[in-house]
Structure 1
Amino acid sequence: MIGRNIYEIRLKKGLSLSELAERANISKSYLSNIERNLNQNPSIHIIKKLAAVLDVDLRSLVKTEINEERQQYLDREWLDFINELKESGVEKEQIQEYKTLIEFIKWKNEQIGEKK
């Protein structure tokens, strides 16, 4: 994922692979391997160099990977929740009733929070 981010940012900045490699003082083949995810674990020193040349925050080079992992975790949580509902006997047709109940509970909690 880091490689893809570097690749996309490099293109947005209008830099060739050779230009970025030269400015970051790393070999073109090494940068190519990073971008193609053949080297999926570049050192933090290299990532900092690339971020500096690309004029981006270090986190922007690694954030997609973190967000995708988090999204996959959340998707699994939702799937687990749906499976628990199914196993407990809740039918699809009943979901709207539960949604109404959840909305009422949220409203009630907001009312309690306002009184504090």
Structure 2
Amino acid sequence: MIGYRVKSLREERKMSISELSTKSGVAKSYISSLERNLQTNPTILVLEKIAKILGIKVDALLYEQGDKNMDEEWMQIMQEIMGSGISKEEMREFIQDRK
């Protein structure tokens, strides 16, 4: 069901297949085939390109996400925090200081 997830995430972002294709460098026909589940075995490289443009991890395409309590904005904030070099302990201290 990778194709379904790609289509769903693409549509949530109000992105056309053409736009996703142009930004990711993956052929429009390939994305269309993937979304219609005609292409069921995409390479990791293709998934990485698509995931990057959709702003998600490849895992989100491969595995169904059971918990959708966290919205996209929070996910983006968390990714920025993790990429900034702040340790878990520093983040805990920051949160505790706010209480």
Relative to the length of structure 2, the TM-score reads 0.63
Q: Is 1:27–2:27 an aligned residue pair?
A: yes
Larger Rg: 1
Q: What is the alpha-carbon distance in structure 2 between the residues aligned to residue 49 and residue 20 of structure 1?
A: 10
Q: Matched residue of 2:26: which SS?
A: coil
1:38: how far off? Answer: 0.3
Unaligned runs of 5+ in 1: 68-116
Residues 37-52 of structure 1 correspond to what in structure 2 (within 5 A)?
37-52=37-52
1:57: how far off? Answer: 1.2
Amino acid at match of 1:51: A
The Cα offsets for residues 42-69 of structure 1, whole Å up to 9 and x where unpaired, read as 00000000000000111111112x97xx
Amino acid at match of 1:53: I
1:26: how far off? Answer: 1.4
Normalized per residue, the structure richer in helix is: 1
Q: What is the alpha-carbon distance in structure 1 between the residues aligned to residue 53 and residue 26 of structure 2?
A: 12
For this pair of structures, how many residues does the alignment match?
A: 66
Amino acid at match of 2:39: N
Residues 1-116 of structure 1 correspond to what in structure 2 (within 5 A)?
1-64=1-64
The Cα offsets for residues 7-57 of structure 1, whole Å up to 9 and x where unpaired, read as 000000110010001111011111100111100000000000000000011
Unaligned runs of 5+ in 2: 67-99
Amino acid at match of 2:23: R
Q: What is the alpha-carbon distance in structure 1 between the residues aligned to residue 63 and residue 55 of structure 2?
A: 16
Amino acid at match of 1:9: L
Percent of paired sites with the same residue: 35
